Amino acid sequence: MCGLNGIFAYHDAAPRPCETELLATREHMRARGPDGEGLWWNADRRVGLGHRRLAILDLSDRALQPMASEDGRFVVVFNGEIYNYPELRAELEADGVAFRTTSDTEALLHLYARHGTAMVRRLRGMFAFAVWDQVRSGLFLARDPYGIKPLYFADDGRSFRFASQVKALLAGGQVSRDPEPAGLVGFCMFGYVPEPFTLYRDIRALPAGHTLWVDREGAQAPRAYANLAKVMAEEAGDPVPAADLPERTRAGVLESVRAHLLSDVEVGVFLSAGVDSGALLGLMRDAGQEDIRAITLAFEEFSGTDEDEAPLAARVAQQYGARHSVRRVGEGEFRSDLPAILEAMDQPSIDGVNTWFVAKATREAGIKVAMSGLGGDELLAGYPSFVDVPRWHRYGTVTASPWLGRATRSAISVMAPGLAAARPKALGFLEYSGSWAGTYLLRRGVFLPHELTRFLDEKLVREGLRRLDPLRRIEASLAPDPRSDTARVCLLESTQYMRDQLLRDADWAGMAHGLEIRVPLVDVGLFRRMAPVIRNLRVGAGKAALAGAPSVPLPADIVDRGKTGFFVPTGAWMNSAAQTPAGVREIKPRRKGLASRQWSSLVLEAAGAW
């Protein structure tokens, strides 16, 4: 895990990049890479690359970045981990390649030298990187298929800038802060900013599973090299008998866990009272990991209640022989940390506070890498949405009528405005439930489009919705159609909520503490293996199979406990009488009892976008 950045003045009329800007951008990401730093310039100083390092593989200075190939033709800056690095290295060495380091970064250089831009298809891992090619005078950027690692860019028509964080690009001082209506509207609708948009018109995310080429002619359009819906279509094949689910799950997840243990430093695990993290701990032990440290986040307000996860987590840790630490957080620490949380939050999110505190606790324990169970619900149908979305859509195919829905909503808004304000999603059912995208919006949305003009300028809302085109954007994640309700929801949750919120939150919250968070359940190799069973997976069966995957299965009361989520009592904290920290203006809740809507207001205010 690291922070990377660069500037390429590709146009003849572009001014040479300024070292002050390159350094300011890099140093804004200091928390991402506390173990080392580097700068590189090409001969005519039209290209500058920067890097902050969190040392995980090859802890020596030989692995510092930017890293150049031995002949000097290629220079790379890289953030992430390549989990099939040992296999790739063995293959390259068999072809006569001599390595100078034991870093996966060097493997990227050799792969690019041999395979060019096609090399990205050979990688398994979480990654965002840029390779400068001196001979072709071009810059190649790539991002992993799930979008675990972020990469943002700004192109003003003369110079191309990129970095691991939006705020880092802004810190350089040369990128406009003009607002992006689609980013603001998207955040208000979903609780996250949908990629490729950001809150700023001139900054875009390189989409997950895409590459980008920039040369003296400028930046080409991003190109897709990976698509989860296509993987599902390619791998689903004939239905797999339900009896095969447990062994397929065990074999697939164990193999992914084993690959994700690649490290020259200790690897810990976030441990809740849920199935996903408990199963990961058991499978880490099965993979040969010894003396595992497990960190559990607990809340003072929940102590002694059913919501307190610490007692059950302690039982799981004891069962698998892990060294267990419980970190309790209360309202006082939340309010004390709130300004730092909002500053670290690279793009606004209604989530992420939980990850901030468990990452903080893990780093306080001296651990630099931690496994997370993120992704289990998306892969194995663990969310209520796997029941709700198909059911609502079935009703919608019979009753939905967009024009009638809009007319009904408009009439009720005039005749009974209180009802319209109290039940916005119920009023939106006729309008949206006729499509998978609309039904998903009903299930996951924070605000529906017709609500936005209550607190955003009407012109901004129209422009934002036009640019975002939210239903088309959601529907695109289902192409090609997997022809299965469970598979559709799996793809929707993986490419919307998980990618744009959970994975993004894991990145900023972990990296704010210099912690690498690994997600073995978010792995394309595992997804390929599980695709044949996902299409016909019964809700509940996947999580039961995961609970039984370790050689010593999880305790029955963990499995029977049901899904509670990784809950943080921010709603109660925000509604308490305690004073809001200095520097954060108090926001009146827009809807009583809906903490996510209050938090939306707060993070937008802190971002200067409200």
Q: List the binding residues for L-glutamine.
A: 104
Q: DSSP for 560-580, please give it.
A: HT----S--THHHHHHSSSPP
Binding residues: 104, 372-373
| φ, ψ at 239 (rounded to 5°) | -55, 140
Per-residue tokens: 173: 């001082």
- How many Cα atoms sit within 13 Å of 292 on the Cβ side? 29
Q: Computed from CA positions of residues 523, 524, 526, 532, in that sequence, does the dihedral angle turn out positive or negative?
A: positive
CA 399 vs. chain centroid, Å, equals 35
Q: How far is it, in rounded angstroms, from Cα 522 to Cα 260? A: 11
**Of 375, 8, 500, 517, nearest in space to 212 by CA:** 8
Nearest-CA neighbor of 120 among 181, 199, 208?
208
160 and 5 Cβ atoms separated by less than 8 Å: no
CA–CA distance from 6 to each of 1, 20, 64, 218, 277 (Å)? Answer: 17, 12, 16, 15, 36
Helix axes 331-344, 595-607, angle to 10 degrees: 50
Q: CA-CA distance, 514 to 30, in Å (whole number)? A: 9
- Has 2 been annotated as catalytic? yes
Binding-site positions for ATP? 372-373
DSSP classification of residue 551: S
Catalytic residues: 2
